[in-house]
Chains A and B, each alone.
Chain A
């Protein structure tokens, strides 16, 4: 009885560790090679379009609304204390430190990560990856590497756009609708937001999340069972695993960056 359970636990752990090993090998094979900018740049550009530009709309809309909700909610509480002028710092700091990187990563996992997994999983199921190898084209270099770099480049940019749009959305609700003083909104923000402490740490966060989400999405697709069921499972796993990983790492990063 107990031995069976132990065996299950062992099997599970070994499978997980093997998966991590395969993921590392995949990334290593994709990234560690002599750079060939002339060949890889057009591929990267295409992926930047698919991963970055096509995610722009959802990022803009959700950034705007999250900024507006923050301002609305913040105003209800702050106006009780007569501290409406702190609305700017509230909106800016929440967005820069937490919501910008985290919500962007979650949306990115849903919008772009799942698409990457499904695409690569289907390529595997339809033997396109094996076909490439037959033609002496390394699928890691041709398929994985440009998608990885596109994800890592575009997500911090998306997070910056998200944050900026959110702050403008907060301005829209706080200043234009609820009547907080506009000059106070910006000046209190400037007095409380530090370039290194808040903005750079937010960017570092979103780079870390970009690495995590893109890596998980690519690995799940590359490692998918090549059937329709396997691909659907892999896509689900991408969204679930990368969302959990983002939230977990966010706690660790926040504790390290702002906790002390």
Chain B
């Protein structure tokens, strides 16, 4: 085995490993490397977040515009406050916008649906750190069933 052949084969091995890493980083992982641009934070207070998790997507009309950064319980009212990290290319949401916790499909994961509101002279644009006032909590299946049974009982 000549030294040149060994060197070529080791070079091939390393190149293969780099190719594998690139495949994993670019094709398998999400845009953690590429889409890490500028972001800004918005907050929203809910009554019930259901199964929402940190890093759940935030969508506007189905397009992902950001991710949930953190979920904390407000110690004054004991209601969950969700911190949303939104791509700063989408920085034009008026304060009349609303967020709802939605579920993709019947069994799918939960995400935040952000619905842009109307704009006129009296409405200002949401800045970093602002709260989205209009929120709709997650639909909890057990509560729905409970309401249904309660209604049937009263009829």
Contact = CB atoms under 8 A, between A and B. Distances in A.
Interface in B1-18: 1, 3, 6-7, 9-10, 12-14, 16-17
B37 to A, nearest CB: 15
B32 A163 contact: no
B20 interface: yes
B10 A49 contact: yes
A85 B14 CA distance: 33
Chain B interface secondary structure, helix, strand, loop or mixed? helix
B20 A195 contact: no
A163 B28 CA distance: 11
Interface residues of A, number: 32
A48 B11 CA distance: 10
A96 B103 CA distance: 27
A193 B29 contact: yes
A81 interface: yes
B6 A160 contact: no
A3 to B, nearest CB: 56
B15 to A, nearest CB: 10
A67 to B, nearest CB: 12
Contacts of A48: 10, 13
A164 B20 contact: yes
User: Which of B9, B24, B32, B55 neighbours the largest number of chain A CB atoms within 10 Å of its CB?
Assistant: B24
A184 B133 CA distance: 35
Nearest to B29: A195
B9 A49 contact: yes
A45 B17 contact: no
Contacts of B144: none
Interface residues of B, number: 27
Contacts of B33: 195
Contacts of A198: 29
Interface in A190-235: 190-196, 198-199
Contact of A199 (B3, B14, B29, B55): B29
Contact of B6 (A45, A81, A165): A45
B27 interface: yes
B52 to A, nearest CB: 16
Nearest to B31: A190
Contacts of B14: 157
Interface string A153-165: 0100110110111
A191 B67 CA distance: 12
A83 B20 CA distance: 27
Nearest to B22: A164
B119 interface: no
Contacts of A106: none
B7 to A, nearest CB: 6
Given A154-B13, A193-B29, A199 B24 contact: yes
B7 A160 contact: no
A195 B6 contact: no
Contacts of A191: 30, 57
Given A53-B9, A164-B19, 11 more contacts: A45-B6, A49-B10, A56-B13, A160-B21, A164-B20, A164-B24, A191-B30, A193-B28, A194-B55, A195-B25, A198-B29
